[in-house]
Structure 1
């Protein structure tokens, strides 16, 4: 791991930083978080939330606009330009939530009556609950508070601050909504004139990451024949698809564990999980299904291509067929997103680490290995150096019961967000009060001379 390069603030930068941090307001952040959480924004249908944020960012003094993708959804871009000659830094978070927040989630989410799974906001003291209240809306509220405080402090920026949010950040693919998900929104954004020199992505976990994995989606079919519950098991010609699938699931689970170990490198451990099994008709249980399908997600290290992961899985299936020649198997890879990486020596990663170390008062440690996939991978694939920075997650000590597993995505303890806001503010001032050459970027003057 590359160590952090020290670069102390000048007296002027230190004064600007102190003034901007003094403007950070936890109560204002919480109020915005509550209002945004109360606007339902499932993937592919985030128009109302995005329009709300465009208006809010305009009101705090940014040149903000709503960028529609279709009649149901769109993105947000807001800009505060500096005096010129500096870099453009984008603070980014997705805006869509991972669940629909309605009866279609039942029974797959488990008991649905937790406050953190509801698409309505609820406050208890310093806590805000509701679908997406932590991820992504806690991130949006924090980044917006950083921008608001920076503007109120009248920091003399040289570079340009961009605050952006996009739909489609969740790892889903919703065909009914123009295949929303899988970073479709940020890809739309970056293909239409939003071109920062650097980006900071806020996501859970209290470290700075320079890279994130991609993901591959697979469907493994176990084939048999259509049957009938009234016939004996030794009936000629009948082969169950469901019972062999149970054996396949156990072997696949072990392969996923081994895959993660084999493909770990850098800051990424690419986990994989079986997410679903589908077979037969609930209304026709007398007829065993001819096909059982197993669905799973494999995370992809930035140094491994989706094609290589596909080849690794093909080897597993070939070996499985050798061990079980009576199993009739077929498979396909039906989703793939490459990972993305930024050099840990890049300015924005180093700046984010300096901000982290300034607040934590210790050297940035080697972070826990990462398996979560975000739009940060897409930003890096577009050639935008990107740092990921976050806060302790999930929050502890909730006064209300929250769903297990990913329940933390809908429960935010606002005081946990404030240290992260100070870290991000540090990187913003560190980056946007310098000339391009200081950041390792070509200046417009030098570019013109080269031409």
Structure 2
């Protein structure tokens, strides 16, 4: 996909003046303090009430009118509104509120022992750094959005449109069944309860503007054998391992996934997939090989491809595998699906966000890196909300405390990295909310 040059719509003299006033109010120390306090409130998916209550109080102090939506007794989402004079658009600054881990002992199979600073369910700070579970994603995003709102309100900018600040539970790509949370259920709840805007901006890692994001398809393959016994020879009739054939299936699946990505890449989306885990047997009964071994994985869904089509592609892979390996007994299911979402790249909010990016970066935006990360932005777009994704460099480098390799706890934030992103978001806010609706194509 080739990107056309950004449409240039210059600030008026009034907009330029107010933008500079508000930008001068952006305060990294204030942002860091909010980030530290919010990170210090543990908020795993399905248990965000304390963090939402803290943010509601903070938003009201800033000058936003707030309301909440409860998904359960321990799960809460919150939104705030700052109204303009009228005849303008509504613009939502959004980020999820929940962290991808709970840090229970059972989760060590995901995170390892997890002694690093970014994996702790409490905050630590050193100089301009904040560490703790989710300090970067999502809480660095919440703190940045909130600082943009605070600087704008302090400057007294004469907005025509309404500024919304929203944060919801259920934003992580998980399904916590005992808490009925995950897979974007929180943001959908807020949209259904008055938060629906004309435009939205989400903040996520990587220093580009994106107009679309993938969905997800979750699959489970069950390889079947018989329950065995360690004292029986391998060639005894009637005893079949499920574990050893599963190793063959894993290798076949690992070879299929990159081909799937190539076949389904378009726009700015390269929909990767990874095998997440293998489950079978019991550690308490190693003498009894398992009759079933489950393999489960997530493959991303391009917005121009439906989860049903992905399911059909996977069914074709399984049929081919069975034809080549008829001795392997298996069945499968797709147990989770979320479609992707896209916004017209010529939409006002995409072009406005790119103008802000170019204003701060001092160079044309151009073609961004391919994307595979899934966020609540896909749900916003699917619900018809034109949405721009604005990012910052990630992961942060040079941390003064030990941080986990790989994804870790998404919890190491160098606050100076967030400030250019705040300036870009502020630019799009001023650009959008100081204009009449007709200027925005509404």
Q: How many residues align?
A: 440
Contact 1:34 1:123 (8 Å CA) reproduced: yes
Structure 1 residue 407 displacement after superposition: 2.6
Give the SS at the match of 2:265: coil
Provide the rounded CA distance (Å) in 1 between the counterparts of 2:262 and 2:398.
33
CA RMSD of aligned residues (A): 0.7
Structure 1 residue 39 displacement after superposition: 0.2
Structure 2 match to 1:63 = 65
Structure 1 residue 365 displacement after superposition: 2.0
Contact 1:135 1:203 (8 Å CA) reproduced: yes
Provide the rounded CA distance (Å) in 1 between the counterparts of 2:92 and 2:380.
10
Q: Structure 1 residue 80 and structure 2 residue 44: aligned?
A: no
Q: Structure 1 residue 145 and structure 2 residue 147: aligned?
A: yes
Structure 1 residue 2 displacement after superposition: 3.0
**TM-score normalised over the length of structure 1:** 0.97
Give the SS at the match of 2:112: coil
Q: How does 1:17-56 map to 2 (within 5 A)?
A: 17-56=19-58
Provide the rounded CA distance (Å) in 2 between the counterparts of 1:408 and 1:68.
26
Q: Structure 1 residue 198 and structure 2 residue 199: aligned?
A: yes
Structure 1 match to 2:282 = 281
Segments of structure 1 that go 5 or more residues without pairing to the other structure are 442-451
1:260-282, CA deviations, whole angstroms, 9 ceiling, x for partnerless residues?
Answer: 01100000000000001000111
**TM-score normalised over the length of structure 2:** 0.99
Provide the rounded CA distance (Å) in 2 between the counterparts of 1:377 and 1:430.
24
1:218-273, CA deviations, whole angstroms, 9 ceiling, x for partnerless residues?
Answer: 00011111111101111001111000000100110110111001100000000000
1:378-404, CA deviations, whole angstroms, 9 ceiling, x for partnerless residues?
Answer: 000000000000100000111111001
Provide the rounded CA distance (Å) in 1 between the counterparts of 2:122 and 2:103.
9
Provide the rounded CA distance (Å) in 2 between the counterparts of 1:66 and 1:425.
25
Give the SS at the match of 2:16: helix
Segments of structure 2 that go 5 or more residues without pairing to the other structure are none
Contact 1:306 1:336 (8 Å CA) reproduced: yes
Structure 1 residue 428 displacement after superposition: 0.1
Q: How does 1:5-404 map to 2 (within 5 A)?
A: 5-178=7-180, 180-404=181-405
Structure 1 residue 420 displacement after superposition: 0.2
Give the SS at the match of 1:226: coil
Provide the rounded CA distance (Å) in 1 between the counterparts of 2:196 and 2:102.
31
Give the SS at the match of 1:332: strand
Structure 1 residue 107 displacement after superposition: 3.5
Give the SS at the match of 1:43: coil
